[in-house]
Amino acid sequence: MSSLLRRGRLKPANKDAISFISSVKDDKKILKQIIDVNKAHIVMLIEEGIIGRESGGRILQALDGLERRVKIKPEHEDAHVAIEEAVVNAAGEEAGGNLNLAKSRNDQVATAIRMRLRLEVIKTAGLITDLQEAMLKKAEENIEAVIPGYTHLQPAQPITFAHYLIARFDALHRDLSRLKEAYSRINLSPMGAGALATTSLPISRERTAELLGFNGIIENSLDAVSTRDFLLETLAVLSIMAVDMSRMAEDIIVWSTMEFGLIELPDDYAFTSSIMPQKKNPDVLEVIRARMSLILGDFTSSAIMLKALPTG
């Protein structure tokens, strides 16, 4: 573990203990966001006159392109330590030592997670929209294609295939609306909350939030660093979407069977058997159906981990 955190306080850490608690693997997914948070924080410190322009400039220069250069070693507890070491080595200890002035890993990682998550939410929303557009196009082509409407998987009333597709379209539209609602709560900045009770230095949380593209700040500092409800909410939204997607996948699987014979799957999305060449298996749809269960599992496991955690 880095001597930057331990010197003068603790003896060297056990290597197995370092490996056990290390978040390096996960931190790599938010490395760019962590560096961006550091950049914005330093700019704010310069603007507020908390650090000098020369020292701040040296830190910003060290941070520039660091994502490509930084080497995260096994002895690092996390990416934050690796970044600090790299900055101190490049900018010097006197200037580089200001990198963590008026901030903590607590508010920094909470901010970086939100920044990465909002990108993933935007990407997911775009994919849902693409799917909806494809469904609308297919519905327009099948306005007069009559199929059985089922209740209890028994033929009930005649409908059109377009009618079915719009039903699934509307479900996705609600999923998209829920995702947008979740985004509005994700895109709030915890930065400046410090470890949990902010800092005595005259920082501007609003300026840091502006630099990082947030819509505002989370007012209460303890709430800002301790909550993970935004993650749970996103997983809940994705879980509802996963249920919707799994139902649609199952419908198509069933309707493509010889017994139902309503849908013919394209050859490039179907596979055959190693021993029964007459078969046309809906493997892609079956994998989609299975992977939707992973999302439900992620929500459940996350809720269990967060349950009854003490605040802070």
C-alpha–C-alpha distance, residues 191 and 42, integer Å:
12
Cross-strand pairs, 147: 159
Kindly tell me if the per-residue pLDDT of 106 is higher than 90: yes
C-alpha–C-alpha distance, residues 166 and 111, integer Å:
38
C-alpha–C-alpha distance, residues 240 and 235, integer Å:
9
SS3 call for 245: helix
Which listed residue (152, 221, 256, 293) is catalytic? 152
Computed over every residue of the chain, the mean pLDDT equals 95
- pTM passes above 0.75: yes
Per-residue pLDDT of 192-245, as tens digits, reads: 999 999 999 999 999 999 999 999 999 999 999 999 999 999 999 999 999 999
pLDDT of residue 153: 95
Interval 33-50 mean pLDDT? 99
Number of C-alpha atoms within 13 angstroms, CB side, residue 68?
2
Kindly tell me if the per-residue pLDDT of 75 is higher than 80: no
C-alpha–C-alpha distance, residues 185 and 203, integer Å:
23
Closest CA to 46 of 252, 248, 208, 182: 208
Is 273 an active-site residue?
A: yes
Cβ partners under 8 Å of residue 253, min gap 6:
282, 285, 286, 289
Kindly tell me if the per-residue pLDDT of 19 is higher than 90: no
C-alpha–C-alpha distance, residues 159 and 163, integer Å:
6
Cβ partners under 8 Å of residue 116, min gap 6:
29, 30, 33
Cβ partners under 8 Å of residue 96, min gap 6:
58, 59, 62, 84, 87, 88, 89, 90
Confidence of residue 272 (pLDDT cuts 50, 70, 90): very high
Kindly tell me if the per-residue pLDDT of 263 is higher than 50: yes
Could you tell me which residue, 280 or 18, shows the higher pLDDT?
280
Kindly tell me if the per-residue pLDDT of 25 is higher than 90: no
Confidence of residue 2 (pLDDT cuts 50, 70, 90): low
Helix-helix angle 31-47:53-63, to 10 degrees: 170
Could you tell me which residue, 4 or 171, shows the higher pLDDT?
171
Which listed residue (3, 273, 293, 301) is catalytic? 273
Per-residue pLDDT of 128-172, as tens digits, reads: 999 999 999 999 999 999 999 999 999 999 999 999 999 999 999
pLDDT of residue 77: 82
Cross-strand pairs, 281: 271
Helix (H) or strand (E) holding 147: strand 146-151
Kindly tell me if the per-residue pLDDT of 3 is higher than 70: no
Confidence of residue 9 (pLDDT cuts 50, 70, 90): confident
C-alpha–C-alpha distance, residues 260 and 254, integer Å:
7
Is 163 an active-site residue?
A: no
pLDDT of residue 5: 60
pLDDT of residue 1: 45
C-alpha–C-alpha distance, residues 291 and 293, integer Å:
5
C-alpha–C-alpha distance, residues 296 and 239, integer Å:
5
Domains of the chain: 3-101 (1.10.275.10), 106-306 (1.20.200.10)
Handedness of CA 303, 305, 309, 311 (dihedral sign): negative
